[in-house]
């Protein structure tokens, strides 16, 4: 994986917002949307274009509202990601596609699976959290203190959360390494191994800097959306879903994905030992292979994207 020059595209939504996105890899390949983490941007870690070409993948990454070059969509729900993904797909004249979401992007990928059943062929959710009202789940158990403070702040005072993230976003825009240093102080061993790799650390710094360059509001709205009603039921998901989680994750504890696996019909669960949250970066190429397996089925049926 590496940072590559990107061609940035923008479009207008029906409610007059701007969505900013990039397309990399094989222009004639199988379309896959990659939904970035929280915080993050379209620059989030992804395979090199040469790797995507070999896999036959056309990878589409967009800034969720409030991040990078995308207009804020205040009071958005997780479910609203489905309409934004569909808008980008329509702009690119794509009829069917797969979706993968990482960390905070994973629930948004599940929203696409639930609400775009005719378009989304396969879905991968990497190191996801579960809904805030998940019955039988201790939502904060095993979670790093900084994440507990961040998510629980909205239960008490949204204004306090906004100011906390505003200060952190400003510091990150000035020095993207600052956020990485905060994360490093709370990581388990497997994550330390991943993030200390120079190339991955550089990619993380780039995605944080771009995502937060206009302020904290994408981050604030993500946290609010993840801790509120998602706007859909995970039991509604019909298509194939692969749920992957690192067993030693303390940012999004593995219990969240186990809960999701018990609720999503026909979900495939993969828990990997000796890895954690940022292992989702390293596992992405293999996940893309699983996602694009539907292409052979589509080709055999004579269907188009």
Q: What pLDDT score was predicted for residue 171?
A: 86
**213/173 Cα distance (integer angstroms):** 6
Is the pLDDT confidence value at 93 over 80? Answer: yes
Q: Is residue 58 part of a domain?
A: yes
Q: What pLDDT score was predicted for residue 303?
A: 58
Q: What pLDDT score was predicted for residue 2?
A: 47
Place 190 in a pLDDT band, splitting at 50, 70 and 90: very high
Q: Is residue 1 part of a domain?
A: no
Q: Is residue 157 part of a domain?
A: yes
Domain containing residue 279: 9-301
Average pLDDT over residues 249-261: 98
Q: Is residue 3 part of a domain?
A: no
The token pair that represents 252 in the structure block: 């999004």
Q: Is residue 4 part of a domain?
A: no
Q: Torsion angle, CA of 66/132/130/224, rounded to 10 degrees?
A: 0
CATH of the domain at 206: 3.40.50.1820
**CB within 8 Å of 22: residues ≥ 6 apart:** 6, 7, 8, 9, 42, 60, 61, 62
Lowest mean pLDDT segment, chosen from 18-22, 27-31, 168-172, 238-242? 168-172
Q: Is residue 129 part of a domain?
A: yes
Q: Is residue 261 part of a domain?
A: yes
- Please tell me the pTM assigned to this model: 0.94
**Count of domains forming the chain:** 1
Place 300 in a pLDDT band, splitting at 50, 70 and 90: low
Summarised one tens digit per residue, pLDDT across range 122-149 is 999 999 999 999 999 999 999 999 888 8
């Amino acid at each position: 994986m590496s940072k590559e020059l990107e061609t940035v595209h923008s479009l207008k939504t029906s409610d007059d917002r701007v969505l900013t996105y990039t397309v990399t890899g094989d222009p004639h390949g199988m379309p896959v949307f990659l939904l970035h983490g929280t915080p993050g941007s379209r620059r989030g870690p992804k395979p090199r274009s040469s790797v995507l070409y070999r896999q036959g993948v056309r990878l589409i990454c967009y800034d969720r509202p409030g991040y990078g070059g995308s207009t804020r969509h205040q009071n958005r729900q997780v479910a609203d990601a489905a309409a934004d993904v569909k808008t980008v797909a329509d702009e690119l004249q794509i009829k069917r596609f797969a979706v993968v979401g990482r960390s905070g992007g994973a629930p948004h990928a599940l929203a696409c699976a639930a609400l775009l059943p005719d378009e989304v062929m396969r879905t991968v959710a990497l190191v996801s959290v579960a809904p805030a009202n998940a019955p039988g789940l201790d939502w904060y158990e095993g979670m790093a203190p900084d994440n507990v403070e961040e998510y629980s702040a909205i239960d008490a005072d949204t204004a306090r959360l906004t100011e906390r993230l505003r200060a952190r976003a400003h510091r990150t825009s000035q020095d993207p390494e600052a956020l990485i240093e905060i994360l490093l102080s709370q990581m388990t061993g497997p994550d330390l191994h991943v993030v200390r790799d120079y190339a991955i650390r550089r990619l993380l710094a780039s995605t944080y800097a771009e995502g937060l360059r206009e302020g904290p509001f994408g981050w604030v709205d993500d946290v609010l959306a993840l801790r509120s009603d998602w706007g859909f039921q995970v039991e509604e998901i019909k298509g194939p879903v692969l749920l992957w989680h690192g067993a030693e994750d303390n940012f999004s504890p593995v219990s969240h994905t186990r809960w999701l696996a018990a609720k999503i019909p026909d979900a495939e669960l993969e828990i990997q030992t000796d890895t954690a949250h940022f292992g989702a970066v390293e596992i992405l190429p293999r996940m893309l292979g699983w996602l694009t397996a539907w292409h052979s089925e589509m080709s055999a049926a004579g269907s188009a994207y």
